[in-house]
Amino acid sequence: MDSIAPYRLVSKEPITRFTDVELKRLKDAFKRTSGITYYMTQQCFYREVLGDGVPHKVAEVIYSSFGGSSKGLHFNNLIVGLVLLTRGRDEEKAKYLFSLFASDLGGYAAREDIEAVLQVLDGEIPTSLKKCFSEGDKVNYEHFRFWLLQNKEAFTLSRWLLSGGVCVTLTDDSDTPTFYQTLAGVTHLEESDIIDLEKRYWLLKAQSRTGRFDLETFVPLVSPPIHASLSEGLFHAFDENRDNHIDFKEISCGLSACCRGPVAERQKCKPS
């Protein structure tokens, strides 16, 4: 699927279709999954964006067409893809599907190219496809679009995109608590405290030589005022799972115990 060109949403700036709340949620979630690389891995895209209900071959095509590579998927490309999946009109989805078979919308898609892609995706060629090529072995976008919208369930990807198969959403109407609410529930921090702390945490982590919130990053933040000889012990008090770096949950719980918790919890933070 490496030959598939990245899709481009040309009718409207993608970012304007999101509310400020949605965009912030997307940025925060992307940051948590990609770290400092600004790229989401292929497996993470499958798991966190598409979910388990999308066939593997279809997921591969979507990932490649959204600009994904061995390096990962950049946030800007993810935004364009999410606009298509969650806010895209049938016209835009038709252009996207045509782009899988043709190099540009102004060109033609050859029958053999379409059949080759569909053979990979579904293992078969839909019988309705012959109607698309009633006038020859090549088809332009307008002809393809007319056929596609009359045959939305012709192949797996068209059925998923055009017949209500997409279950990707940007909002959550359930009662499941957010990441911040969950941490606020197990610490003495307010939800707003955790949001502010996360911004600072990722900034410090990005400045780390290793890309992790490790001992080398931690010590200059606490010493002074804490004596250098006690800094490593304090680090291990935060590093609960002993993996030699402090994740965001550990920094949240550690600061809560040290700064907001009762005396008994603060005693536990004392360097050993």
208-254 pLDDT, tens digit per residue, is 888 788 999 888 888 888 887 888 888 888 888 888 888 888 888 88
* Bridging pattern class, strands 73-74 and 108-110: unpaired
Query: 185 and 119, same structural domain?
Result: no
Q: Which domain holds residue 27?
A: 14-162
> What Rg do the C-alpha atoms of the chain give, in angstroms?
25
Q: Taking the complete model, does pTM exceed 0.85, yes or no?
A: no
Torsion of CA 219, 27, 20, 185, to 10 degrees: -60
Residue 171 resides in a domain: no
Of 159, 167, 163, nearest to 121 (Cα)?
159
Name 139's bridge partners.
109
**Same domain, yes or no, for 210 and 96?**
no
Q: pLDDT for 139-185, tens place per residue?
A: 999 999 999 999 988 888 888 888 765 555 544 444 445 566 676 77
**Which CATH number do you get for residue 35?**
1.10.238.10
Residue 9 lies in a domain: no
Contact criterion met (CB below 8 Å) for 49 and 78: yes
Count up the domains in the chain and report the number: 2
